[in-house]
Amino acid sequence: MTDLFREIEEDIRRDQLNKLWEKYGIYLVGLAVGIVLVAAAIVGWRAWERSKSAAASATYSELITKAEGEKPAEAAAAFGEFAEHAPSGYAALARLRQAGLLVDAGDTKGAVAVYDTLAARSSAPDVFRDMARVKAALLLLDQSTYDDMKARLGSVDVAGNAWRNNAREILGLAAWKAGKYAEAGAYFDAIVGDSEASAGLRDRAHVMQAVIAPHLPRPEAKSETKPEEAKPAAAGAKAETSNAAPAEAAANPKAE
């Protein structure tokens, strides 16, 4: 009897599975095929990205080697052309190289334009974008106002940013040049107080603190005599004067 019931249950389950398969089987097959295709696409994409990155790395290395025997302007043009089609990381590196070569070629305006292009590119890594902002500001320091420098570097001068102390140094110099000594001192104080600032930056900040110090207001000297002490002293002086008058009169009776 038990075997019979078991066979009946198995037949029922089999019938239910057959009905479910007839109703939903095609969807299950489609889901399985979709999973396989998505997995294959991801694997293929990653392989393509790796091959593209490897090719970009090889080309970038060739450009560096080739640049040693070229004029700075020619090498800069080659890096700029490479950056147009390279992956974001290598494109950012190429832009930095391009700008540096333009500086060597005497084209400061062109270098600033390249740095600004990199800083504005959202696809580039943030550390490269902020580096470009700092380098462009440094090139423009002598010809820009303090407000211009704040507009360029305000987003860099924040806690946790790798380039914050470089930005503070430039902002401090711009403020000092504009005669805003208190603000300049605050920037250099921040560098000195930052344990993550490099030794060179902190040394330069100490020098600027010494240069700025004579221009800062000095605290008012406090009087050593307290007002409370002055009053009894004055009262004592009056008492001595009043006591001295009768004595003088007694000593000189003719004066009366």
Q: Which two tokens stand for residue 106?
A: 């005497």
pTM comes to 0.67
DSSP annotation of 178 reads: T
Residue of 134, 133, 136, 127 lying closest to 102 (CA atoms): 136
pLDDT in tens, the chain (256 residues): 555 446 555 655 666 666 666 666 666 566 666 676 666 666 665 665 566 567 778 888 899 989 888 999 999 999 999 999 898 888 999 999 999 999 999 999 999 999 999 999 998 999 999 999 999 999 999 999 999 999 999 999 999 999 999 999 999 999 999 999 999 999 999 999 999 999 999 999 999 999 999 999 887 655 554 555 445 544 444 444 444 444 444 444 444 3
How much is the pLDDT for 24? 62
What is the C-alpha separation between 83 and 63, in angstroms, rounded?
Answer: 11
Structure tokens at 128: 């490269």
pLDDT at residue 191, rounded to an integer: 97
Looking at residue 207, what is its pLDDT? 96
Q: Distance between CA atoms of 136 and 114, rounded to whole angstroms?
A: 9
- pLDDT in the model for residue 246: 45
In the chain, where are the structural domains located? 147-216
Radius of gyration of the chain (CA): 40
Longest CA–CA span in the chain (Å) reads 157
Residue-wise DSSP of 75-131: HHHHHHHHHTTS-HHHHHHHHHHHHHHHHHTT-HHHHHHHHHHHHT-TTS-HHHHHH
CA 234 to chain centre: 62
